[in-house]
Amino acid sequence: MQDRRESSGSLPADEANARVDQIADAALRLFARYGYKRSSMDDIAREAGLAKATLYLHFKGKDDVFRAMLDLLGRRVEARCREVVAAKGPFPERLAALLQAHHGQAYASFGTGEHLAELKAVMNTIATRELQAFEQIFTRFARELLQQAEKQGEVTLSRLSASAEDWSAGLLFAAAGAKLGTPPSAEDYARRLEGIASVFAAALAR
């Protein structure tokens, strides 16, 4: 039964945010399973265990739910990336872990990748700001990881023919390219990311 405080819009901010995340999490599961077009607000409400009216207290429509879903995924990915950068270990291994924390975790969140092309098209259409913020998470942590490795004498940035930003952008493109063709399994994609990390790390080795 719907909480009267929620129906009147008087939920405390932390409870309201938790409800938004609950709905976004349910939407992520549905979009991974059925894609964007085949998932309705009724479906999202059912998956979240809420009344449809409750959804409309927090969202105007499915586009807003999609953006909230991408924001939730971004926060989860950011938390994992932060753990990777804070951990110890050789630069190539940490770079592979960062690629997995960002790209691998996002890929696995969308299931087998069957609906990935559709979802990426939706991102480019209605969630460009959220998509850019999601990509910037990786760029920011890759730069930090690179600076740590240089300080520790593991890499030589002067070997780059381009800037560190271009190097990070290259990693983004490579990670995206590793999903082309028949969608790989999450395990196969993780192995591809490990290979990418190995190549990009070798380019900077002392």
Given a cut of 60, is residue 154 above it in pLDDT? yes
CA-based torsion, 116, 75, 92, 142: positive or negative: positive
55-88 in b/e form (b: 16+ CB < 10 A) is bebbbeebebbbbbbbbbbbebbbebbeebbeee
CATH number for 4-62: choose from 1.10.10.60, 3.40.50.300, 3.40.50.720, 1.20.120.450.
Answer: 1.10.10.60
- Round the average pLDDT of the chain to a whole number and report it: 91
- The two tokens of residue 86 are 């804070």
CATH class of 72-202: mainly alpha
User: How much is the average pLDDT of 84-94?
Assistant: 96
Q: Residues with Cβ < 8 Å from 183, sequence gap 6 or more?
A: 112, 113, 114, 116
Q: Residues with Cβ < 8 Å from 45, sequence gap 6 or more?
A: 51, 52, 54, 55
Given a cut of 80, is residue 2 above it in pLDDT? no
- Model confidence, pTM: 0.89
The domain spans of the chain are 4-62, 72-202
Contact 25, 42 (CB under 8 A): no
The whole-angstrom separation of Cα 69 and Cα 27 is 7
Q: Work out the pLDDT band at 25, boundaries 50, 70, 90.
A: very high
